[in-house]
Amino acid sequence: MPICTTCTHPVPHLYTLYPSKYNLRLEQCPKCSNFADPYVEHDPLIVLLDLILLKRGVYRHLLFNYGARPRRLDREGREVPVEDHGAQSEWDILWKLGLALVAVDAFIRWSDVRRARGIGLWDEERKPYGVEDYVWTKEAAWSLGRMFAACLVETLAFHAGVVLASWTVLSLVRVVQRSRSIADTDKSTSPTMRRISLSLLYSSLTKLFLLLLLSIWHTRPPARPPFSSLLPSRPLSPALLPWLPSLPADLLSDRTLDRAWIIRHLLGGFSAGFGLRVVLDCHPVLTTGVVLCAWALEGWVRSGLQQWSEG
């Protein structure tokens, strides 16, 4: 059963179709009196932008209301059966969207590795791009294939870690609810493995969108590890606050700040936690723990595949 994107209350139908062409009426939620799902009338571009902006309603629309059948009325106002237009199942969306996003992530990481080798992580001067940097060779295709395989394994490891940690968290939450005699949530909003994985894929759109912009922008890789510039460089004047370190002048420069690392890990972790918060409907501390556990597993897998994928 679909749910309201505002209050998650179950509703029988999202909208009603009438005999005239393109004539529909959105249903109101009986609990909050808002439209049950306004994204029914929105264009796919608006849905994509709201996904990048991490809107809670669009997550509920895609995870719980996608493929829900409307109510159809004839000219006499009687309800008639609705034809099944063959909407894609959650599994079809999962593997198609997953492979597409893994391919985008692999291309971004592959281009970053090639750019880092062309520029030189420890060189002071930027190496100019030549024609040979844009020639598609057999070696380039093979390296891209290795990167795709590594990204696929890392993504599977991250999703497996999230699913296992989420199952543990939900089991503990159910035990606490039973001990407090709290009724379980509605089955229509109960998280499943497919919904958890889909929420992670949808939340990765924000990260990949910004990483793709950085890849096109050709930012310079950092010469030092991320956040190394946050260490104290020199003390302030004794007349001011001698116990506080002064921040270096190049704190936000490309030489000291790894924007790709911040987007991939910090923003990516925040987006993943937001998506899990919508699906699991538990305390943010629990979703943070789930993401950290999955990060640990993904980092262990990445450390074993990094030399092979970038070789």
88-135 tens-digit pLDDT: 677 888 889 999 999 999 988 888 887 766 644 334 444 544 445 556
Alpha-carbon Rg of the chain, whole angstroms?
Answer: 24
* Counted domains in the chain: 2
Task: Indicate whether 42 belongs to any domain.
Answer: yes
Task: Indicate whether 21 belongs to any domain.
Answer: yes
Indicate whether 136 and 50 sit together in one domain.
no
Q: For residue 208, what are the contacts with CB-CB under 8 A and spacing of at least 6?
A: 101, 104, 105, 108
Indicate whether 67 and 102 sit together in one domain.
no
User: Tokens 């059963």 map to which residue?
Assistant: 1
Task: Indicate whether 82 belongs to any domain.
Answer: no
User: Tokens 């994204």 map to which residue?
Assistant: 39
Indicate whether 135 and 211 sit together in one domain.
yes
Indicate whether 66 and 121 sit together in one domain.
no
Task: Indicate whether 147 belongs to any domain.
Answer: yes
Indicate whether 96 and 64 sit together in one domain.
no
- Count of helices and strands (H, E) across the chain: 8, 4
Task: Indicate whether 94 belongs to any domain.
Answer: yes
The beta-carbon contacts of 262-270 under 8 Å, at least 24 apart in sequence, are 262/226, 263/207, 263/210, 263/211, 263/214, 264/207, 264/211, 265/295, 267/206, 267/207, 267/210, 268/204, 268/206, 268/207, 269/295
Task: Indicate whether 133 belongs to any domain.
Answer: yes
82-87: average pLDDT:
61
134-188 tens-digit pLDDT: 566 788 788 889 999 999 999 999 999 999 998 888 888 777 777 765 555 555 5
Rounded to whole angstroms, how far apart are CA atoms 177 and 276? 20
Percent composition of the chain: helix, strand, coil (DSSP 3-state, to 5): 55, 5, 40
Whether 225 has a pLDDT exceeding 90, the answer reads no
Residue 161's CB: how many other CB atoms inside 10 A? Answer: 21
SS3 61: helix
Domain boundaries, position 144: 90-220+255-310
Indicate whether 115 and 22 sit together in one domain.
no
18-68 tens-digit pLDDT: 877 667 888 889 898 889 999 988 888 999 999 988 899 999 999 888 888
What is the model's pTM?
A: 0.78
Task: Indicate whether 178 belongs to any domain.
Answer: yes
Task: Indicate whether 81 belongs to any domain.
Answer: no
Q: What per-residue confidence (pLDDT) applies to 18?
A: 80
Indicate whether 138 and 57 sit together in one domain.
no
| CA 168 to chain CA mean position, Å | 21
Rounded to whole angstroms, how far apart are CA atoms 163 and 144? 28
Rounded to whole angstroms, how far apart are CA atoms 282 and 168? 12
Rounded to whole angstroms, how far apart are CA atoms 58 and 51? 6
Identify the residue with better confidence: 215 or 253. 215
